[in-house]
Structure formats: C-alpha cells, structure tokens
Amino acid sequence: MASFFDYTIATDIVAGKLNEARLRKEIGADPLITIALLNIARTDGTFRVTFKAALPASDKTALDGDISAPAGGVIGPHSGEPLALHTRSKGAQLSATASQTKIDDTVFADDVEYQGTVVAVEGRQIGDQLIVELVHPGAPDTVLSTPIDVFIPADGDISILSDSGRPELVAADLIRCSFIASATAGTRTVTIEHRTWA
C-alpha cells in the first residue's frame, strides 16, 4: 500500500524552495531509501512525497530525519535549484521524399526525465506530418503529441513538449519520431533532438 508524507516548502526545506525533478533524483539516489518513489506533488506552499509501499522507519529517517521545521535527511538540505537540461542530439539526419514515412527510434540507456523533442525540417511541405510517441517495451505506445499537420513555415523548428509534464523514462524506453511526407515532391531533411533533465 502506498504511503505519503506532507511537508511545507518554507519551513521544512532550508532553502525555502522546491524543485520536484531534483528532489526525485535525490530521493532515488539515496541508498538508505529502499522503497520506490511514486510521486512528488506540490500544492501551493506544501508538497506531498508518495512512495509505492509503506516506508520503513529507517527509510523515513533517511528521507526527513524524523524532524521538521526544518526537516533533516534528504528533504531539509534540498537546494530547490533546477536540474541542468541535457540535449541528446541525433548524430544522423533523416531524409524523406514525397509519400515516404521515415521513423527514428531513440532508446534511453538509463532512467531520465523527458522534457521534450525538437525537430528541424528543411524543405518541409504542406501536409507533412510528425508524430512523437513514447514506447514502453511490451506495452501499447503512448502518444506524447498529436500528429502535426505542417502548413507554415517552410523551414523551422517544431517543439514538442510532453503533454504529461516530465514523465520519467526508464532504461529501454524509447522515443519514436515518425515523419510522414506528403505527396508533394521535394526532399526533406529532418534533424531530431531529444531533451531530458539531468
């Protein structure tokens, strides 16, 4: 059964600020916290840390030192600073001509928090489409963006941010980009960047 703990940002965190992505990483990296983290949810000036199962006393001590205002453990010294943004660029470009579909799969070798995908298309034509999907091996694809029917501009970047905030991708998950060229003649050069938080 899941367990949760509530904290006040202004009094339980010495820095007085919260960055959920950083705190998730800090909790996950602490070897004394043995139960998997489920979620960190902020509501106004408070936040709730939820675990997938009941937290043993030793885990709770590692989490907050069993004290408050300020907390100890991982919670109290949390800096609240945002994580650096990492860009995972594709080394190669896709080339598509009229009525072709080109698919690029980028597999993640470790756990990351997905921020979004940026795709640059040179020679884009009316009716070209781009679909970005998050694929969990052995599970149905989860579409992170709806198909984009590109009319303008002829060139430029398409930024696609996850519809669900910052989903955590586990090792072996992949981001699938499908570029579907319309029947309009011409060659399109597609460059893909995936952005994750450190």
Q: pLDDT band for position 191 (50/70/90)?
A: confident
Ranking 5-9, 73-77, 88-92 by mean pLDDT, the lowest is: 88-92
Q: How confident is the model at residue 13 (pLDDT cuts 50, 70, 90)?
A: very high
Q: CA–CA separation, 97 vs 25, rounded Å? A: 42
Length of the chain: 198
The string of pLDDT tens digits covering residues 109-118 is 777 777 777 7
- Residue-range domain boundaries for the chain: 3-64, 85-197
Distance of CA 136 to the CA centre of its chain: 14
Helix (H) or strand (E) holding 77: none
pLDDT at 73: 95
Instruction: Tell me the mean pLDDT in the region 78-102.
Output: 78
- pLDDT at residue 103 in the model: 87
> What secondary structure letter does DSSP report for 123?
T
* pLDDT tens sequence across 29-88: 899 999 988 888 888 899 999 998 999 999 999 999 999 999 999 999 999 987 776 666
Average pLDDT across the chain, whole number: 80
pLDDT at res. 82? 79
CATH classification (class only), 85-197: mainly beta
pLDDT surpasses 90 at 146: no
Cα(34)–Cα(24) distance, integer angstroms = 14
Higher local confidence (pLDDT), 158 or 171 = 171
The answer to whether the Cα torsion of 191, 117, 139, 128 is positive or negative is negative
Distances (CA, A) of 190 to 70, 99, 104, 150, 193: 50, 15, 10, 13, 10
Alpha-carbon distance 169 to 135, whole Å?
9
- Residue 117 in contact with residue 136, Cβ under 8 Å? no
Report residue 148 as tokens.
Answer: 């984009």
Q: Computed from CA positions of residues 158, 145, 172, 167, in that sequence, does the dihedral angle turn out positive or negative?
A: positive
Maximum distance among all alpha carbons in the chain?
A: 67
Q: How many CB atoms lie within 10 A of CB 109?
A: 7
User: How many percent of the chain have pLDDT more than 70?
Assistant: 79
pTM of the complete model: 0.55
**Contact indicator for 49, 27 with CB cutoff of 8 Å:** yes
